[in-house]
Structure 1
Amino acid sequence: MGEIAAKARKSIGARRNPESADAILEAAEAVLSEAGYSGFSIEAVARRARAGKPTIYRWWPSKAALLIEVYQRQKRVETPDTGNIEADLAGFLMNLFAHWRDTSSGNVFRSLVAEAQSDAAAAAALADYAKGRRAHTGRMVERAKARGEVAADVDAELVADLVASFAWTHLLTNRLDGEEATIRAAIRYLTCGILKPTERKGVLDPRGTS
């Protein structure tokens, strides 16, 4: 059954054994590669890794949770630090689109988002993942605050949600070949707004002031 399957698993309780966890993740990657999202199951992973299903469920409470960790393990998306918030956010989106477009990760993540609409476990796993990514993306905004480029009272995680909404919409509608100019325009709208400068005075501020 191959090198991965040759590794015998040992359960040591709720605390992960790094070697065992890595072997399970490797097995999960192999099953996903061979069987695709529709053929992926905890049973198949357990057989390939020679691990007990209770051990897998102890460390990953659902199939979706395991798949999200596989997705994160495969994800290689650079977060730029150019000293300019527009360039950082646009560069991040371009890197993310390229990753989704050029690897199997995009299909996996798209399927997870779709399953989360009808499966509570998948929805919970996706929400946990999104929380971590929100904080990660928000660091670009926090760096810009430290440079004095962005107002100190801007909610960095809300900005991250807006960036993610643009990305997820393009993923779910299979529009990952967008031109760089379109991505940069979207970020410009986010950072500068869409109202004419003469129309901005008196508009309700998102922080509750005008």
Structure 2
Amino acid sequence: MAQPPTPRGRKRSAAAENAVLAAAYDLLATEGLQATTVEAIAQRAKVSKATIYKWWPNRAAVIMSAFLREARDALPYPEQLDMTSIFDRLHRMAQEFHGPIGNMVRVLIAEGQSDPEIAEAFREGYVLARRKQGVEIVHAAIAAGLIRDADPDVILDMLYAPLYYRLLVGHQPLSAAFIREHVTLALNGLTPRAH
């Protein structure tokens, strides 16, 4: 049996990868998106630009990798769609949106309007990747009879869009009182009707 081909190039160094992602995240959080260049990331991480380009195809991919590493833990989905779980997770999300994660989401969405690479990286790496997990949770809730049978994408939009709207527009605060009223209204609409 033929052996699989040996991958070209050196294996990623975990220390160097962590340094690159930490540098990108730190630059994004403190200096902003425009300052988060491959040159600046390489300088801060003490690696060459060639090393970064060997592992990531472009600046957007590095930035999204750094953002996603932080956001995965900071913005988890609830385990199931019940009042307590949804309130807890959306409240945690609102709190995270008051800090660096929220600033980054704002910047990445804004920059994505004029930079197709950033838009695609944000959509594919963050929004659509997370939605796969969310759709599974919605399907499980429908199967368990916790919520009415409806389009999972519409349900996720209904639950999450108000937080992004307040984050981006800033017309009202992302407060615990807002989250509680929003979750209550949303779940009242999703609760199966008695026959």
Please give the alpha-carbon distance, in whole angstroms, between the structure 2 residues aligned to 1:14 and 1:172.
42
Runs of 4+ in 1 over 6 A off after TM superposition: none
Displacement, 1:139?
Answer: 4.1
Q: Secondary structure at the match of 2:170?
A: coil
The correspondence for 2:64, drawn from 59, 62, 68, is: 68
Q: Tell me the equivalent position of 1:97.
A: 94
Q: Secondary structure at the match of 1:193?
A: helix
Please give the alpha-carbon distance, in whole angstroms, between the structure 2 residues aligned to 1:132 and 1:168.
17
Q: Tell me the equivalent position of 1:9.
A: none
Q: Secondary structure at the match of 2:106?
A: helix
Provide the identity percentage.
Answer: 29
Give the alignment's TM-score, normalised by structure 1: 0.71
Question: Do 1:86 and 1:184's aligned partners in 2 also have CA atoms closer than 8 Å?
Answer: no
Q: Does 1:155 align with 2:151?
A: yes
Q: Provide closer, same or farther for how the CA distance between residues 154 and 26 of structure 1 changes in structure 2, counting only shifts above 3 A.
A: same
The correspondence for 2:187, drawn from 167, 185, 191, is: 191
Unpaired runs of 5+ residues, structure 2, are 1-7
Q: Tell me the equivalent position of 1:3.
A: none
User: CA-to-partner distance for each residue in 1:145-203, whole Å, 9 max, x for gaps?
Assistant: 3432124x433233223333222111112357333333233334433439xx9xxxxxx
Question: Do 1:98 and 1:176's aligned partners in 2 also have CA atoms closer than 8 Å?
Answer: no
Amino acid in structure 1 at the alignment position of 2:180: R
Tell me whether 105-114 or 88-97 shows the greater mean CA deviation. Answer: 88-97
Please give the alpha-carbon distance, in whole angstroms, between the structure 1 residues aligned to 2:141 and 2:21.
36
C-alpha RMSD of the superposition:
2.9
The correspondence for 2:142, drawn from 142, 145, 150, is: 145
Please give the alpha-carbon distance, in whole angstroms, between the structure 1 residues aligned to 2:172 and 2:16.
36
Between Structure 1 and Structure 2, how many residues are aligned?
Answer: 181
Q: Provide closer, same or farther for how the CA distance between residues 57 and 191 of structure 1 changes in structure 2, counting only shifts above 3 A.
A: farther
Q: Tell me the equivalent position of 2:4.
A: none
User: CA-to-partner distance for each residue in 1:111-151, whole Å, 9 max, x for gaps?
Assistant: 00000011110110111120012123334423423432124
Q: Provide closer, same or farther for how the CA distance between residues 157 and 111 of structure 1 changes in structure 2, counting only shifts above 3 A.
A: same
